[in-house]
Structure 1
Amino acid sequence: MGGADGYPQNHRGVRYSDDSSLNTLEVCIPRPPTGDQKQVWIVFIHGGAWLDPEIDSSSFRKTQGLLLSSHQADSIAGFASINYRLSPNPSHPKDPSNPSDPARNAKHPDHINDVLAAILYLQETYRFEDRYILVGHSCGVTLAFQVAMKRYWGSQYESTFALELNVVPPLAILGVEGLYDLPALVKHHSSEPEYRDFVSNAFGSDEAVWAAVSPTTGEYEESWPDGTLVVLAHSREDELVEWKQVDLMHCALRSQGWDEASNERRLKLIELRGKHDQVWEEGKELARAIEVTVEAVRNTM
């Protein structure tokens, strides 16, 4: 419930595009705007292998509630959680997709184009420019880094990236239980065909595309020159995504000058506790990772 002044203000089902019923987001304004340029927005991108209808923008609510009463609450100007179109999932036991539903028949680059459109909507509405931390969970991490990659895939792969959108990349990215190298992920789980299935479902069968869209192949010195911080947060108890994914991304970033000791392009690793979805379902570990990231960002502003 809000206080006497009507805050926090929660807005759900906010439409950022008319492409489908899933082109919506949730917004929370904790308090009246103060004009403090060191306050940041938290923008969250949910996971779910690009196709799970049971994981959506509401998956951030538990974490958001914890952050509203945390020691970093005064440092946060607003929260947003993004829905985006999902890939087909006709065999889902509770909510199978319908071929005629545009919300449930997305193929790359639909997912990232939706995320870019949502961020652009937020930036134009709330004028926070680059003063935001982009947080992703699982495949939401892939999408978060694709925002910073600013990559264009031409007709060779029959896909394009919505670079015409004037989206300002974030100050920092926090990846939680992330998918960073899709070919390596599928290879590691070669005995589990569902991994190849959901990657192919989202990006097609061409493994060259899988590599091109993977955050480990980003050229961030060129595409994200104003990025100040990357935080990789992962649990060794994650039963779905192996720690090797973190190692691969950590190595890729280190090779481009990101470093734990740097004040300009800082790289930070946080070890979480809990299973893959437990970190957001319970909220405490995701909130802890965000608190650490907010503090680190404010120390560089």
Structure 2
Amino acid sequence: MTPDRADVAASQDIRQARWQPAEVASPHLDHPVPVVAAKDVAYLPHANRLQNLSIYLPRTPRTAALIGTPVTSLPGADAAVRHPRYLVHLHGGAWRDPRLTSASIEPAVAHAFRADALTGEAAPPVTAIASLNYTVSQIDYPVPPVMKDPPVPYDAIKDNHTDPAREAVHPQHVSDVLHGLALLGSLGLADGSYVLSGHSCGACLALQSVLQPPRHHGLGHLPEPPRPAALLGLNGLYDLPALATAEGLGTSHAHLRDDYEAFLSRAFGADKGAWADASPAGFDPVSIAARVREGTAPPLVVLDHSAEDQLVPENQHERMTATLAEAAGLRLARGHRLTGPHAAPWEEGVMIYQSLLDTLRLLREAP
């Protein structure tokens, strides 16, 4: 697969990025965890402020020696290992919140790379964790009341200024993710070398990016991303049309219908007929099965959903599960780590970390 010119230029630009010392924290840990990181690395030339990614490494004598040096590869990229060595994460935020960024993975990074994990007999579960930002969509005036601490609304016409980082309409979100994965590919991300995780709309983006080829989203000029060994979806949004109907939301979440319709219209356009084609729950199981056989889609998908999620109904999980269950050859597993409100997985970190461990265990147990 040959990257397009933008990917080549971005892979050249990353040489300007350098490894730096950093700290990450989790509310479940008493102290910050030292790491080595390369933050906000642009994956496109002339990128807007959200077209970037961050990479985190455990702080060890070997990685500490990288501090101040250019980012030229992911640790262990040349090693021959059977199981994934990286985690790549896509954050949520309803496609519209510019404040929810790649840094939201840091509580999970803290658990994965905490000191006791490094000083014990067991090595960290992965050797690097990457987290991608992507261009977000506009947010309507007035700000929906469901958002307790809303970002500043943005509408280019009403505000009389433009902000390219907040004007995405599908398929730009997917395009950004594919460009980010391509840049990681230039650093050594390869087929089977990583677990791809996503929370909320990030779970939707993860499935969109690997269960169908780029041409499905009108992005045929982009190459296939490296194939994940597994995909981990957490409190995901999968059936978009269902989220804009009271029936699809169910009695527990029907009060959110207007907000869903508003931000889905911003993210995917006013034509609701196009929403189904973009919905992972509506993907053809036969085509997914063919991609698994061809080695372009992950052979394992793990989906988890908190029964206490106040923003996304559990039937989204059920609809996605029903689709994937019909894809012959795909191994499907139900996660059992998520509890609490919608944002708890990324806010606390420990649930994403535990879900990663479970996914790696499932991969090791595979025949």
TM-score, with normalisation over the residues of structure 1? 0.87
Counterpart pick for 1:54 among 99, 103, 107:
99
Deviations 1:195-238 (A, max 9, x none): 01111110012222111111112231123433221000111000
Q: 1:82 to 1:267 in 2, by over 3 A?
A: same
Judge conservation of contact 2:139–2:263 (CA < 8 Å) in 1: no
Q: Measured at CA, do residues 12 and 144 of structure 1 come closer, stay the same or move farther in structure 2, by a change above 3 Å?
A: same
What is the Cα-based RMSD across aligned positions, in Å? 2.4
Return the letter of the residue paired with 1:232: L
Q: Of 202, 216, 219, which aligns to 1:140?
A: 202
Per-residue deviation, 1:129? 3.4
Q: For structure 2, list consecutive stretches of 5 or more residues without a partner in the other structure.
A: 1-20, 24-33, 63-74, 144-149, 157-161
Is the contact made by 2:210 and 2:225 (CA closer than 8 Å) also made in structure 1? no
Amino acid at match of 1:229: L
Within 5 A, what are the aligned runs for 1:99-178?
A: 99=156, 100-151=162-213, 160-162=218-220, 164-178=222-236
Q: Matched residue pairs, number?
A: 288
Q: Would the alpha carbon gap of residues 53 and 2 (structure 1) be closer, same or farther in structure 2, given more than 3 Å must change?
A: closer
2:291 aligned with 1:223: yes
Query: Would the alpha carbon gap of residues 9 and 73 (structure 1) be closer, same or farther in structure 2, given more than 3 Å must change?
Result: same
Q: Does 1:21 align with 2:79?
A: no
Given that 1:171 and 1:229 are in contact with CA atoms closer than 8 Å, whether structure 2 keeps it comes out as yes
Does residue 1:201 correspond to 2:251, yes or no?
Answer: no
CA contact (8 A) 1:150 1:161 kept: no
Counterpart contact for 1:62–1:282, Cα < 8 Å: yes
Identify which of 156, 162, 179 aligns with 2:237: 179
> Is 1:40 the equivalent of 2:85?
yes
Partners of 1:11 and 1:213 lie apart in 2 by 32
Q: Which string of whole-angstrom CA distances, capped at 9 and with x for unpartnered residues, describes residues 139-189 of structure 1?
A: 0011000111334668xxxx6225522422211100000011111122234
- Identity percentage of aligned residues: 32
Distance 1:152 1:27, change over 3 A: closer
Distance of aligned partners of 1:201 and 1:119 in 2 relative to their CA distance in 1, 3 Å threshold: same
1:262-281 alignment runs, 5 A limit: 265-271=330-336, 272-281=338-347
Deviation at residue 131 of structure 1 after TM alignment: 1.1
TM-score by length of 2: 0.72
Cα drift, residue 96 of structure 1? 3.0
Q: Which amino acid aligns with 1:138?
A: S
Q: Unmatched 5+ residue regions in structure 1?
A: 259-264
Task: Using the TM superposition, give the Cα deviation of residue 134 of structure 1 relative to its aligned residue in structure 2, in angstroms.
Answer: 0.7
Q: 1:88 aligns with which of 127, 132, 138?
A: 138
Q: What pairs up with 1:65-80 in 2 under 5 angstroms?
A: 65-69=110-114, 70=117, 73-80=123-130
1:281 is paired with a residue whose SS is: helix
